[in-house]
Amino acid sequence: MKDLARFVNADAALVRRGRYLSMRFLVEVGDDGYLVSIRDGMVQSVTPGPFVMQDWDFALRAAPDTWEKFWLATPPPGYHDLVALMRYKRLRVEGNMLIFMRNLLYIKGLMASLRSDGAAQ
For the entire predicted model, the pTM comes to 0.89
Say what the pLDDT of residue 121 is: 46
Q: What is the mean pLDDT of residues 7-33?
A: 95
The CA distance from 57 to 39, in Å, is 13
pLDDT single digits (tens) 66-112: 999 999 999 999 999 999 999 999 999 999 999 999 999 999 999 99
First-to-last CA distance in the chain?
Answer: 7
> Which residue type sits at 74?
T
Q: Is the pLDDT of residue 120 over 70?
A: no
Omega of the bond leading into 50 within 30 degrees of 0 (cis)? yes
| Domains of the chain with CATH codes | 4-63+92-114 (3.30.1050.10)
